[in-house]
Structure 1
Amino acid sequence: MQNAYHPPSSFGLFPPVVKNLLILNGLAFLAQVIFEARTTEPFDAITRLFALWPIGGPEAIQFRDGLVEFGTFQPWQLVTSAFLHGGFGHILFNLFGLWMFGGAIERVMGSKRFLGFYLACVLGASLLQVAVTSWPFLMGDGTGIPIPTLGASGGVLGVMAAFGLLYPESPIYLLFFPVPIPAKWFVLGYAAFSLFAGVTDVQAGVAHFAHLGGMLTGAVVVLYWLGRLPLRPRTRPL
């Protein structure tokens, strides 16, 4: 296995799954912008239907300024929420991460396996996040305001976890930190911060448990394929 990694410099050189994920996320964000511009409600139709909403939350709440309608949980949101974003900075950060790490992982896994891997990370992220956000409503506290979760971060961070396992010594360069960090320490540090921030809620509005769910799923799947877990894979190892 290679010990160094260099991201592709041309969009045409991207492997097919990463390329199509970038395109689909871009098209979904464009649709969001169009729908948001056509509504005066806090949540547009795309967000209410396809973002990830907590189970058991109220469908609407009467505020002083009027009635606000929320979305309700639907099974497809476990996947569709990963193609929606909360703003240009949000999608730019996620697609940059997919560009930076995804190509190398797809080439190692192959496109078919990588697609299944990415979707597994998305599902792992969504399941942990919906469990955390649904807990207050399912436990009888119906006074809270349901907040939708959206973004590709769970899938992208699952890919980043795979990168840390497969290319542990590859340097990661950060704009605000002049010294390169080995990928394995960067991934572990990010996971530790996400756990701390999720438990303490120091970064409100960020789905830290979705990040953790994606990273944990990605790490477990890669370790399984590498044969490092008690349960051995039946398919071709990485």
Structure 2
Amino acid sequence: MIPLTADVVLPCLDEAEALPWVLSRIPEGWRAVVVDNGSGDGSAAVAAGLGATVVHEPRRGFGAACHAGLLAATADFVCFCDCDASLDPALLPTFVKQLADGGADMVLGRRRAAARGAFPPHARAGNAALVRMLRHRTGVRLRDLGPMRAARREALLGLGLTDRRSGYPLEMVVRGADAGWRISERDVPYRPRTGTSKVTGTWRGTWHAVRDMRAVLAAPPRPVPHPAGAR
């Protein structure tokens, strides 16, 4: 049996300290695509030195970095994971296997705090509010909208994602739900990040993320194709 492989998109902004551990956890035979979003700490050089494919995305924004990584991916399956050592890329093969076996069209990691402070109260509150709004908008019942996920590359491109800020992960789920995708969750440990958080580590960052995601939820549904080959 040919082993399953995937490209792992790692949006990166000043993560030089975390990169060695994150890249050491990429499954054997998989490709790490580190998307440098304007780092000033040498993250791109660190990533390249550790064997990752480095993509430079000058336009700031989590969605801009994620989408640049998706466009650079070439594998049939694409995974996304934060680059701050809060999530373990070594867990992603189980996500991809579920896709390959036809058990889901998109698999998300449900974050479960592995240490005190890993998932601060304001981030939990923002996430809970968005999950409720997502259920109202699409009917999809999820418990988390975390950034760790996997899907088929061509199907993701077919969603026509347009958000380039913090709403990108939610837009991916909303557009997938509109297309009738089967979206499932797997529990993953969530650790305190290495370095300073740009989003969920502060009330201000969380507020901006929730604002971006509310705009995604307010957009009207539009038809998108079902992922080819997923069933």
Q: Give the TM-score normalised by the residue count of structure 1.
A: 0.29
Q: Which structure dedicates a bigger proportion of its chain to strand? A: 2
Computing the radius of gyration from Cα coordinates, the structure with the larger value is 1
Q: Which structure dedicates a bigger proportion of its chain to helix? A: 1
Q: Give the TM-score normalised by the residue count of structure 2.
A: 0.29
